[in-house]
Amino acid sequence: MTRLCLDVMKSARSRRETYVGSWLPEPIIEEPDEMDQDDLTLTLMLALERLSPLERAAFLLHDVFGVPLDEVAVTVEREPAAVRQLAARARKHVQDSRPRFPVARDEGSRIAEAFFVATRSGDTNALRAILAQNVVVRSDGGGKVHAFLNPIAGLERVLRLYEGLSRKLGIKRDGFFRPIQIDGLPGYVSYERDDVFQTTAFAIEDGKITEIYITRNPEKLRHVAEALNVSGSSETQH
C-alpha cells in the first residue's frame, strides 16, 4: 500500500507543477461544537506536502503508526540508515511547522472577524494591528476564479494589497460572514465583493496573524457550501 501511495504522490506532484497559482488542500470545516483539538491543522498538512514522498512515508509509518525503522526500510526499499535520516529530516520539518501555542477558540473567532471587517471596510490601521510583520497571504483559485498567483509576504505588501482591493472594489461593510474552524485553524467562510464564495483560515502567533490561507477554487468548495447549506448568492446577511 505504501509503494502504491508513493506512485500516486509522484503523479500528484507532477500535476501540481501545472497548477495555476498557489495550491492549498481542500478545506475541511468544523463547527465549534465539533472541534476535537486535533493536531492535523492546515499548516501541518502543508508541511507534510513539502516533504519528499519518501520522507513523508518514513514519517507517517514510523512516527505516526509506530512501525519500526527496519520494517519501514524494507517497505520503501531503502537502507535502514537512509530511512533513519529521512524520518529525522521529516520530523524536524514538521516540528518547525507546528504552532508554538494553540489559539483559544474565542480569540481565533475574534481575530477572524476583525480581519473580515477591516479588509471590507478598508481600515488599514485596524488591519495593521492584527497582522504580524512576517505575514504571508496564499490564495488558491485554481485558475477558475481571480486569486493571487503568488504568495504575498510582508506586512507592508499585504497592507498595500488590501488597500488596493478596497479602492478597486469599493468599501462594503456588510456581507455573508460565518466564523468557523478550517482544517483546525480559526477562520471564516464568506462571499466576497466579487461574489466569489471562499474560505479564509489563519495561523496566529502571539495574537497576530502570521499566515492567511484563502481558498477560492469552486471545485474545492462545493462540499463546504453543501455542508453549510449556503447558496451561490452573496445576498445573505452578516
Name the residue with higher pLDDT: 224 or 11: 224
H helix or E strand, kind and range, residue 164: helix 155-169
pLDDT at residue 91 greater than cutoff 70: yes
Sign of CA dihedral 103, 105, 107, 112: positive
Highest mean pLDDT among 94-98, 99-103, 138-142, 174-178: 138-142
Model confidence, pTM: 0.76
DSSP designation for 238: -
Whole-number pLDDT of residue 234: 43
Please name the residues in contact with 79: beta carbons below 8 A apart, sequence gap of 6 or more: 73
pLDDT at residue 238 greater than cutoff 60: no
pLDDT at residue 235 greater than cutoff 50: no
Name the residue with higher pLDDT: 52 or 14: 52
pLDDT at residue 157 greater than cutoff 70: yes
What domains sit in the chain, N to C, each tagged with a CATH number?
29-97 (1.10.10.10), 105-228 (3.10.450.50)
Whole-number pLDDT of residue 197: 92
> What is the percent of the chain where pLDDT is above 90?
42
Cα separation, 82 vs 42, whole angstroms? 28
